[in-house]
Amino acid sequence: MQKPSAIVSVLLLSSFAVAQEVHIGVLSLFHPRELVVAAPIGSALLVHAGGESFTLENSSGEGSVHIESSSGGVVVRCGSHVVRSLAASILSRQEGPIDLLVTVPGKLTRRYRGKLQISQASEILVPVVSMDLETAVASVVAAESLPGEPLEALKAQAVAARSYFIAGRGRHFNFDFCDTTHCQFLRQPPEPDEAAAKAARFTQGLIIRYRSHPVATMYTRSCGGRTRTPAEIGLSTDDYPFYSVECRYCRQHPSRWHSSIPANDATELRTSDERSRLTLNRRLGWNTVQSNDFTVKTQTAPVIIEGVGQGHGVGLCQAGSRAMAEEGADFRQILAHYYPNTEIIRLTN
């Protein structure tokens, strides 16, 4: 095991006291025009809309509320009761966080824990869940991890996710983060005895700092053998340079892929431009060009490209982190390797 070059310490600094809540826009990939929000069995939801408030609970026969997009706002339906409003808020009877079941009809249902606000923009509903920071961290770890992931790798992921939540706020106009790769994957929170929940709990409050500032950490699925700097893929960062480091596992076990793309799309694709890769993937599918490490094999239509790695290749490599943990490294050693010259600090409440 390579000895980490960075000094990693755990400090208690009052200067990093923060509000322990994040606001996350969810389900945006589905562009919902209708949502159904339900109370889990044994729970009650309080709905605020259009100056009115009413309670939903299964025992009363009214356990869900239907919310539809309309011009200028939303339409809230609960049984025969209809309210028109600019937005609707759904929370517990004590006006705090609660478990919520949110359904995009005909597509999926997800569980969240927090306070939900639903507004409308361009006839699309915009659901935003305000949740406790640690609930958000556990939810990201669960979404980003594979079954059987070593606990130390999950702890490293938890610290990286938490650091991103602290340092990267305000990435969207009416909420802090989204639940896609633009920010961080987020799905329903894990159960308390699941490994992802344990990883968040065991590292509670820990974030990564560089030169007295929290780091908006970046991480990638598989780096291809060496992580990249943001400058190598046309990105810039202000808080941390994201050094290029060797990843022994990915060098020995590269994740290889190949793809064919239309010739007119290939003209805008460059290995040093992450934005062009993402733009093309939004149009053709997220697995079309899986990384920035690729070569063009044929120039004729369709253009054939071959590459290694998955994701932008910057920061923590999840495949390499898993391998380091399996070899005995703890989460501090993992973070020290992929984020050199940083330290770990603890947030205060």
Cα–Cα distance for residue pair 255/245, rounded to 1 Å: 17
Residue 4 lies in a domain: no
For residue 262, list its beta bridge partners. Answer: none
Residue 24 lies in a domain: no
Q: Which two tokens stand for residue 163?
A: 């650091």
pLDDT of residue 239: 83
Cβ neighbours of residue 240 closer than 8 Å, sequence gap 6 or more:
210, 215, 216, 217, 339, 342
pTM summary value? 0.89
pLDDT of residue 148: 92
Residues 160 and 78 in one domain: no
Cα–Cα distance for residue pair 334/6, rounded to 1 Å: 11
What is the mean pLDDT, run by run of 10 residues, along the chain of 349 residues? 36 48 93 92 87 80 87 89 93 87 95 95 94 96 93 98 91 87 89 96 96 94 94 86 96 93 83 86 87 84 90 95 97 98 89
Give, in order, the Cα–Cα distances in Å from 114 to each of 144, 199, 204, 252: 20, 20, 18, 43
Contact of 126 with 119, CB cutoff 8 Å = yes
Residues 235 and 180 in one domain: yes
pLDDT of residue 3: 34
Give the structural domain span for 274. 256-308
Give, in order, the Cα–Cα distances in Å from 32 to each of 22, 64, 81, 107, 173: 22, 17, 22, 10, 18
Residues 317 and 342 in one domain: yes
Cα–Cα distance for residue pair 317/219, rounded to 1 Å: 6
pLDDT of residue 2: 35
Tell me how many degrees the CA angle 5-219-348 measures, rounded to the nearest 5: 75
Residues 150 and 295 in one domain: no
Residue 268 lies in a domain: yes
Cβ neighbours of residue 333 closer than 8 Å, sequence gap 6 or more:
1, 4, 8, 324
Q: In a 10 Å sphere around its CB, with 0-12 CB exposed, 13-18 middle and 19+ buried, how is residue 40 labelled?
A: middle
Residues 304 and 317 in one domain: no
Residues 75 and 92 in one domain: yes
pLDDT of residue 6: 38
Contact of 104 with 28, CB cutoff 8 Å = no
Q: Count of domains in the chain? A: 3
Among residues 122, 146, 172, the one where a domain terminates is 122
Sign of the alpha-carbon torsion through 246, 247, 250, 251: positive
Cα–Cα distance for residue pair 205/187, rounded to 1 Å: 21
Q: In a 10 Å sphere around its CB, with 0-12 CB exposed, 13-18 middle and 19+ buried, how is residue 281 labelled?
A: middle
For residue 276, list its beta bridge partners. Answer: none
Plot region of 166 (φ>0 → left; ψ -120 to 50 → alpha; else → beta)? alpha
Residue 95 lies in a domain: yes
